[in-house]
Amino acid sequence: MSEDEDGIRNRVQSRGEKAAADLAQALITSPAFGQAVSAAVLAREKAGDAQRVAMGALNVSSQDEADRLERRLRVLSERLEESEDRLDRALAHVRDLSSEIETLKSAPEKPARARAKKAPATGKGASSAKG
């Protein structure tokens, strides 16, 4: 580009920026514009309320309700996973205990009987027999 074209482009750009700034300032200070924005926001809220009522009458969920339901399902899914993990740990513990019980059942019974016979001799029963 030539120097003349750059100068023209800069002047047009500068004028456009100034015009946009002047328009924005005029809109901000205009009471009519403020009222129009307020009315538009209020109309949007009323339209949203009317949409929710209409969707409720048709038994159709709103996006907010769908989002809440999705969050609730996610929480329930996480809780179910935690419960499954706890159940798996409990089942593993029961299996370990069952295995230990089977091991003890298959162990020789003589040491258990020997302990049972020695216990009264050293316990209270032996001292009361002497007394």
Number of neighbours of residue 13 by Cβ within 10 angstroms = 10
**Contact at 8 Å (CB) between 121 and 115?**
no
pLDDT of residue 94: 95
Convert the pLDDT of each residue in 66-96 to its tens digit: 899 999 999 999 999 999 999 999 999 999 9
Convert the pLDDT of each residue in 17-40 to its tens digit: 999 998 888 888 989 988 999 999
Percent of the chain with pLDDT over 70: 81
Both structure tokens of 82: 């935690």
pLDDT of residue 57: 86
**Contact at 8 Å (CB) between 93 and 101?**
no
Q: Between 17 and 110, whose confidence is greater?
A: 17
Sketch the domain layout of the chain as residue ranges: 1-60, 61-110
